[in-house]
Amino acid sequence: MSQALAVPQEHDRFPYSPIVDRPPLHLPNGARVAVWVIPNVEHFYFDRPSSSLISSTTNLAPDVLNYAWRDYGVRVGIWRLMEVMQKYGVKGTVALNSDATQHYPRIIEAGTQLGWEWMGHGKTNSILLPQHSPEEERKHIFSVVETITKSTGKAPRGWLGPALSESLHTLDYLAEAGIQYVADWVNDEQPYPMRVKTGQMLSVPYALELNDFGAFLVHGQSGEGFARTIIDQFDTLYEDGAKTGRVMAIALHPFLIGHPHRSKHFAQALAHITSRKDVWMTTGGEIADWYNKTVLNR
């Protein structure tokens, strides 16, 4: 059970930094925009509600209708997404529930063959970090890191909290566990360092609006409309990037984008992005490495 903690009116993780006052950011090889794509590979418990398409059954246990709809992502959707991304030479940075490594090892095998990066995403999306006590949360994070390391052969370097959730302690526990960058803070178009008690932490830009979950389930966008949003976002960042480099994240859920009527439009968006010069198609870890070495000199 979580313990009530006094939340301060102001955080102390980073100072305010207007992008117009920063020195120009020079991406590798003269790129204007760094684009990273984040498929979310998640596991959900059968005995409780979660993300839903139809609300009329969410009060049922089990909610077979919505559970099966989510389960489509790991059975079918992820494989279509892999094909689309591979066609355009795009490597994924997977936000990975550690439970998924046990339930869907075939996905881990295929993603590893494609050279995808594995980023911690909690144990399951049925549990959020603030639901734990501080002691439980620390154990949870270390367990996730250990499980992903054993299952993929590499320790995860990045982290995305389930539902982008954090407690007051999360960043400190992540740094202690060896996590080097976090994607929970969707407040910038460039990376920036964060204060932690020990070690180092970097925020790498993620996306709420360039995210298929919000686009389809909250705003009711079509696959074509979401692709248009991706293209519009990229085109503007490409122009802005002529002055100072920008980072663009595309957040995806296979149980949404993996459906045929959506994936075909996502493919068109990737075709548009990858057809342009001066674009760095990359991963979260590569962005962190570049920023730490060239900007922070560490």
**85-106 per-position pLDDT tens digit:** 999 999 999 999 999 999 999 9
- Per domain, the residue ranges of the chain are 32-46+58-294
Residue holding tokens 């539902």? Answer: 163
Q: How confident is the model at residue 4 (pLDDT cuts 50, 70, 90)?
A: low
Judge whether 76 and 141 are in contact, CB under 8 Å: no
Residue type, 71: D
Residue holding tokens 């940075």? Answer: 93
Question: What is the structure's pLDDT at 52?
Answer: 85
Interatomic CA distance for residues 264 and 267, integer angstroms: 5
Task: Pick the more confident residue, 282 or 5.
Answer: 282
Q: How confident is the model over 29-46, as pLDDT tens digits?
A: 999 999 999 999 999 999
32-46+58-294 is classed in which CATH architecture?
Answer: Alpha-Beta Barrel (3.20)
Interatomic CA distance for residues 79 and 26, integer angstroms: 35
Q: Report DSSP state, residue 47.
A: T
pLDDT above 70: percentage of residues in the chain? 98
Interatomic CA distance for residues 98 and 167, integer angstroms: 19
Strands, E, within the chain: which ranges? 33-41, 93-96, 117-120, 158-159, 181-182, 192-194, 201-203, 246-252, 279-282
Task: Pick the more confident residue, 6 or 79.
Answer: 79
3-state SS assignment for residue 50: coil
> Which stretch of 88-92, 131-135, 279-283 has the lowest confidence by average pLDDT?
131-135
Interatomic CA distance for residues 236 and 177, integer angstroms: 37
Task: State pTM to two decimals.
Answer: 0.95
Using the predicted structure, report yes or no on whether residue 3 has a pLDDT greater than 70: no
Q: How confident is the model over 178-202, as pLDDT tens digits?
A: 999 999 999 999 999 999 999 999 9
